[in-house]
Amino acid sequence: MIVRTKDFSDYKFLWIENSEIELKGEKGSFRDATIKGSRTQLLADLYTQRIAPMEKEFDSLNTLLTESKITQTRRAELVTLQVSVDERIRNETIEFVRENPNSIVSASILNTYSRAWGKEISGALYDSLPDQIKNSTYGKSINQYLQLNKELKIGDKMVDFQQVNYENEKIKLSGFTGKVVLLEFWAAWCGPCRRENPALVKTYKTYKDKGFEILGVSLDDKKENWLDAIEKDGLIWENVSELNGDRNSAALIYGVFAIPDNFLIDQNGTILARNLRGEKLDKKLKELLR
């Protein structure tokens, strides 16, 4: 559950179970509310306490990176430190799930990070869950990822899929065979995606008559938001969606865990690159479409 203000400016997540639960808090400081009576909540709080110091360290490094007078050498040092802290958070989180397989909290965490951790780690953690947890909403979602994901790498052949566009027409990725295709994962709610779109529109107009196509896969869950973004951003290429958010089957097949993300596929269906943008994408297309 979530206790929140209407605009989400103040909120507190809490785990509800079959017991008498007491929440003490005030509007304006819900995040500091205390919760008693939920063993599930106690375990969730324990996890938060374990990673809180590392998250604080990560945020401090991020603040230093925003300083205007930072040198390139110092920036590189801070980024290296951030990567190290992020790895520690990842390892601590994996260890928490491994230590607590019988808790729905672990299933929730694994569901959030399964695609980022990959099938080997996520599969082993999933296998350790009892059947009751596997049959939960989180467990079923994790299993869907494990069943669909193909662990695709550069040089692999693309995996075909079919979804519908905004006119409810069925579109297949294989329908673009013979062209260089950018498989672009995005969503209307994704700020970085929307900021990338003007440059992508420019690239598309430059190369579309030379054998280049884009297939956009939206991770939206509301059709009106999806259509509004297509119109406002002038996305003149084919766009498809299942309107089920990040549970989109194509995103699961291709292991997409953060957007924007994309895969550049050649005329024969081979994956050439991942997450190419701006000048790097233009340079690669210029090489391929002479």
For residues 143 and 174, state if they share a domain: no
Helix (H, G, I), strand (E, B) or coil at 185: strand
Q: 157 in a domain, yes or no?
A: no
Q: 174 in a domain, yes or no?
A: yes
Q: 154 in a domain, yes or no?
A: no
For residues 92 and 202, state if they share a domain: no
For residues 64 and 142, state if they share a domain: yes
What's at 194, amino acid-wise? R
How would you classify the pairing of strands 212-218 and 180-186?
parallel
For residues 23 and 48, state if they share a domain: no
- The secondary element (H helix, E strand) that includes residue 4 is strand 2-4
For residues 191 and 220, state if they share a domain: yes
Q: What is the CATH number of the domain that holds 131?
A: 1.10.132
For residues 31 and 72, state if they share a domain: no
**Can you tell me the distance from the alpha carbon of 36 to that of 14, in angstroms, rounded to the nearest whole number?**
10
Q: What is the CATH number of the domain that holds 236?
A: 3.40.30.10
Q: 257 in a domain, yes or no?
A: yes
**Can you tell me the distance from the alpha carbon of 26 to that of 28, in angstroms, rounded to the nearest whole number?**
6
- The secondary element (H helix, E strand) that includes residue 11 is strand 11-13
For residues 229 and 136, state if they share a domain: no
Nearest to residue 250, comparing CAs of 185, 187, 188, 194? Answer: 185
Q: Tokens representing 208?
A: 């579309």
Name the domain boundary from 121, 148, 175.
148
Helix (H, G, I), strand (E, B) or coil at 143: helix
The pLDDT assigned to 268 comes to 96
The pLDDT assigned to 8 comes to 86
For residues 263 and 227, state if they share a domain: yes
- Written as tens digits, the pLDDT of the chain (290 aa) is 998 888 888 998 999 999 999 999 988 888 889 999 999 999 999 999 999 999 999 999 999 999 888 899 999 999 999 999 999 999 999 999 999 999 999 999 999 999 999 999 999 999 999 999 999 999 999 999 999 999 999 999 999 999 999 999 999 999 999 999 999 999 999 999 999 999 999 999 999 999 999 999 999 999 999 999 999 999 999 999 999 999 999 999 999 999 999 999 999 999 999 999 999 999 999 999 98
For residues 110 and 48, state if they share a domain: yes
Helix (H, G, I), strand (E, B) or coil at 99: helix
Q: Tokens representing 66?
A: 């925003």
Name the domain boundary from 125, 148, 171.
148
The pLDDT assigned to 31 comes to 85
For residues 115 and 177, state if they share a domain: no
Which residues span the domain enclosing 231?
162-288
**Can you tell me the distance from the alpha carbon of 40 to that of 49, in angstroms, rounded to the nearest whole number?**
14
223: Cα within 13 Å, side-chain hemisphere: 7
The pLDDT assigned to 32 comes to 87
Q: How far is CA 44 from the centre of its chain?
A: 22
CB 9 within 8 Å of CB 69? no
Measured CA to CA in angstroms, residue 183 lies from 172, 217, 230 at distances of: 12, 7, 16
Name the domain boundary from 99, 124, 148.
148
Q: 156 in a domain, yes or no?
A: no
**Can you tell me the distance from the alpha carbon of 279 to that of 130, in angstroms, rounded to the nearest whole number?**
49
Q: 236 in a domain, yes or no?
A: yes
For residues 31 and 47, state if they share a domain: no
Domain count, the chain: 3
For residues 32 and 47, state if they share a domain: no
